Structure 1
Amino acid sequence: MDPFLTLLHSFSSGLLEQELLSLKFLCREKIGKRKLECVQSGVELFNLLLEQQLIARDRVDFLEGLLRSIKREDLISQLKQFVDEGEVSAPGDQPDAHERRLQKAAIEVICEYVGKDWRMLVRKLGVSEVKIERIVAAYPLNLREQLFQSLQEWQKWKGKDAKVTDLIKALRGCRMNLVADKIEEALLRLNAGAN
């Protein structure tokens, strides 16, 4: 199965009716009005864009512009991941529910207590400089959101191999021991509450 078509299909299933209407409107100059009137889903719209060669596996600028126009930063992020890595991680490549709960708690603590030195932490986790700069550009005035998005990027990149223990180890490696201690305390409370 073509990973690009899989990505477009996942975009389509995540579009709201109003977003599809907006996309159709934005494509009026490129696709005839009659063809657009027949479009009932994102898949149909993407199919027309593929036929017109406005989008392709190696030509995503037009698609990115469309997604930016409807303010779907989440889809833009997936598209950029696809471009960077050639594919989007499959759902089976995600951590289990328990690990996701632990990660969520750890990320909340990190976002609360790690300040301007957040780049050192995400570099220690292995997030690339290109991705860091892209996130900073997307959220130029929001330090907390930059950190949060960088941690999300790390989670997507690592998939099921993203572990809270890696977060704690990276924090300790950056001499952010207080934050690491707070995460361990939060995890103890979370685990005690689960039992």
Structure 2
Amino acid sequence: MAADFEYKQMLLELDKSLKAEEFESLKFLCKDEVKKRERESVNRPTDLWEILETREKLGPNNLAFLKQIIKGSCNGRLDVLRVIENFERGIPLDSQRPVNSSSSVPTNHPYVQQPVFYNPVLKQYGQQPGMPTRDRPQVTSIIHSSAVNVDKYMKEINFLTKNLGREWRFFMRTLGVTDGDMMSVEQDHPRSLRDQIYQCLVLWISNNGGQFDRGRIVAALRDSAVERYDLAGRIQDCDI
């Protein structure tokens, strides 16, 4: 579990490290693995990592292709390649950061202590969503169907849970669910895609004032990054 978390953090670190022109070069180097139409919908490195994972070209123990394209797109930048190599050596990201250089670390970085906040929907205090597991309560320990009253939306939730495939992360991002929260849910439910989708939908409803906004769901399904018009039509027509 810890290794999987460090792997996800390593990919997020690469996302932040790559320049725009390097990212475009990176996508081009994936042309044999990712079709042109897919590449056009890829807007950030994390989108590309997910596609490569589905093609079995990327994983915690499968980093050869990633290092190859990083070398080919970053003009020999050792700092970017070192992120991958340090992961392979088992060196945590937080131990790579200078202790006295907090001013250079953004306040929303996952390793910076976040303030306690009050969630008016859950009616309780907690830490900022998206923090590492060691610093935050588990998502599943806070978010339950009863807490956000999702019973009346179970038909729609179950429909999406059963029918969303590998587009689910693009769909959740379009709704506004953060990568950090998706990572937390994946850690809590590493073996069940349906549980991951379900928990993210409950989290979104919670953050949306306890409401299932059908219009936003339909718009997200029709977004160019998702393009699940079949599901959008059925949700809109209540044909589920």
Q: Shorter chain as normaliser: what TM range? A: 0.3 to 0.5
Q: Which has the larger radius of gyration?
A: 1
Q: State TM-score, norm by structure 2.
A: 0.38
Higher helix share: 1
Q: State TM-score, norm by structure 1.
A: 0.46
